[in-house]
């Protein structure tokens, strides 16, 4: 998807309704959604291949991909809208967001699966970045997970509610607290190690996930596998905008897992990356040198 920004100034209220008038001074487009995950992965030193579907009118998507040096072999086009999220920003705050998108299932699902499988052959990691936009159906998820397992490829998932329980047998499953609660009859209303360990254990076993990483916003992160339950508070950061935090977390966790790091280091690095992604307005890729410097200082 594309994250579009309209930057402006508020000098007066509208005479037509009790709302501010934003005088726009700058327009900007950036890669968003799974494409933001790809830019983060590239910024951290790996080679991402983005597989997704956009509309026949790419709205400048291919030009943005070219500008970031990202491959487009995994991008198919169909008769649908290219998702654009337009944020109107003034005084470093979001005043309004307007979404243009289609979320129906793919027309060329078989073609998408085949193309994605071909591109997966020489990869180490596959991230299922689910935004519930119609790309990742139950069939797509099942076939790509089976193929990844046959190829011994690590699988990570950033889920949404609709397909939450379709991601079986993955290496790392990363919901946020809201998504965890939406998919559970027993809600977590008090964050502590005991409470999280019990609720997460049920879901991890039901999903048969090797690791389950829960992001807790300002409360930090929790990670669990068969042997450990670890809760880490958030690093103190200057939080400006939470856009793209989840993308930074899954990108960093993926590369940390592929590098063979222990789960405490995976969680701490992902926790740090998520906070750093919130220090600027809008969606911005991570800076690998800055992340390493902060990791050496704090972890």
State how far the Cα of 208 lies from the Cα of 225, in Å rounded to an integer: 10
- Kindly give the residue spans of alpha helices, DSSP state H, lying in the chain: 34-43, 61-68, 109-120, 138-150, 177-182, 193-207, 245-258, 263-276, 288-298
Burial class from Cβ neighbours inside 10 Å (0-12, 13-18, 19+) for residue 267 reads buried
In the residue annotation, 247 being an active-site residue is answered as: yes
Tally of CA atoms within 13 A in the half-sphere of 62 that contains its CB = 12
What is the token pair recorded at 221?
């992160």
DSSP 97: E
Secondary element (H or E) of residue 104: none
State how far the Cα of 198 lies from the Cα of 3, in Å rounded to an integer: 38
The rounded radius of gyration (Å) of the Cα atoms in the chain is: 19
Contacts of 274 (CB under 8 A, 6+ apart): 215, 221, 245, 246, 248, 249, 252
Secondary element (H or E) of residue 212: strand 211-215
192, 247, 262, 264: the active-site residue = 247
| Whether 88 contacts 6, CB under 8 Å | yes
Catalytic residues: 247
């Amino acid at each position: 998807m594309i994250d579009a920004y309209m930057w402006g100034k508020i000098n007066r209220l509208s005479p037509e309704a009790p709302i501010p008038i934003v005088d726009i001074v700058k327009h900007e487009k950036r890669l968003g959604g799974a494409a933001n995950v790809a830019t983060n992965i590239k910024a951290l030193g790996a080679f991402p291949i983005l597989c997704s579907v956009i509309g026949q009118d790419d709205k400048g998507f291919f030009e943005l991909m070219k500008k970031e040096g990202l491959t487009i072999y995994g991008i198919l086009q169909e008769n649908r809208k290219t998702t654009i999220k337009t944020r109107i920003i003034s005084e470093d705050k979001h005043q309004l967001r307007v979404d243009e998108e289609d979320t129906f299932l793919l027309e060329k699902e078989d073609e998408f699966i085949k193309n994605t499988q071909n591109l997966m052959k020489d990869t180490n990691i596959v991230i299922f970045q689910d935004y519930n936009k119609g790309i990742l159906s139950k069939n797509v998820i099942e076939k790509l997970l089976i193929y990844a397992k046959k190829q011994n490829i690590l699988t990570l998932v950033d889920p949404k509610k609709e397909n939450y329980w379709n991601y079986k047998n993955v290496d790392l499953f990363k919901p946020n607290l809201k998504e965890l609660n939406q998919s559970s009859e027993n809600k977590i209303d008090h964050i502590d190690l005991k409470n999280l360990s019990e609720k997460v254990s049920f879901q991890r076993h039901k999903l048969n996930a090797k690791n389950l990483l829960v992001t807790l916003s300002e409360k930090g992160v929790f990670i669990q596998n068969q042997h450990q339950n670890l809760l880490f508070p958030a690093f103190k950061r200057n939080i400006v905008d939470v856009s793209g935090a989840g993308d930074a977390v899954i990108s960093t966790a993926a590369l940390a897992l592929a590098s063979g790091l222990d789960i405490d280091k995976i969680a701490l690095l992902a926790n740090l990356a998520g906070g750093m992604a919130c220090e600027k307005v809008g969606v911005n890729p991570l800076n690998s040198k800055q992340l390493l410097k902060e990791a050496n200082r704090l972890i």
